[in-house]
Structure formats: structure tokens, C-alpha cells
């Protein structure tokens, strides 16, 4: 869906995308630990034009102790 200016409404897609380094900073852990969280199924990674990204809502849920 586009706005009148032609920009895609990313907010309606529900989430902001974060870099792995940002996720590690938010969780106060190493980059390798973020990889372990992905391997264990606690975080989902998304590839955007070759770049690895994570959904803010999933990181926030992990911080608050929730599950996917």
C-alpha cells in the first residue's frame, strides 16, 4: 500500500527492522549469542536485499520474557 506521496507504509507492515549489532546491543550480548538465539528458534532473521535483519517486536518480546 502506498501513501499519497508514493512511499510504502512500513509501519503498517508491523515492524522496524534491526541490524544484528543493534540486536546484540539491546540484549547486552555478543553477535555470536544472537546467532545462537536464531539457531535455537528464539529469533527469526530476515534477509533484505542481502542484508540480515531482525524484527524489533521479536527482540522486545524476547527482552520482556515472552515467546514467539
pLDDT digits (tens, 9 = 90+) for 40-57: 999 999 999 999 999 999
**18 pLDDT tier (thresholds 50, 70, 90):** very high
CA separation for the pair 29, 49 (Å, rounded): 26
Strands 45-48 and 51-55: antiparallel
Q: What pTM value is reported for the model?
A: 0.74
The pLDDT value recorded for residue 12 is 44
The mean pLDDT of 23-31, rounded to a whole number, is 97
pLDDT grade for 15, boundaries at 50, 70 and 90: confident
Q: How many CB atoms lie within 10 A of CB 20?
A: 17
Helices (H), 1-68: 20-27, 31-39, 56-63
Among the listed ranges 4-8, 20-24, 27-31, 64-68, which one has the minimum average pLDDT value?
4-8
Amino acid at each position: 500500500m502506498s501513501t499519497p506521496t508514493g512511499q510504502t507504509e512500513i509501519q503498517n507492515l508491523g515492524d522496524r527492522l534491526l541490524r544484528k549489532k543493534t540486536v546484540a546491543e539491546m540484549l547486552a550480548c555478543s553477535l555470536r549469542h544472537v546467532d545462537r538465539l536464531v539457531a535455537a528458534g528464539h529469533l527469526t532473521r530476515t534477509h533484505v536485499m542481502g542484508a540480515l535483519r531482525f524484527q524489533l517486536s521479536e527482540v522486545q518480546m524476547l527482552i520482556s520474557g515472552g515467546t514467539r
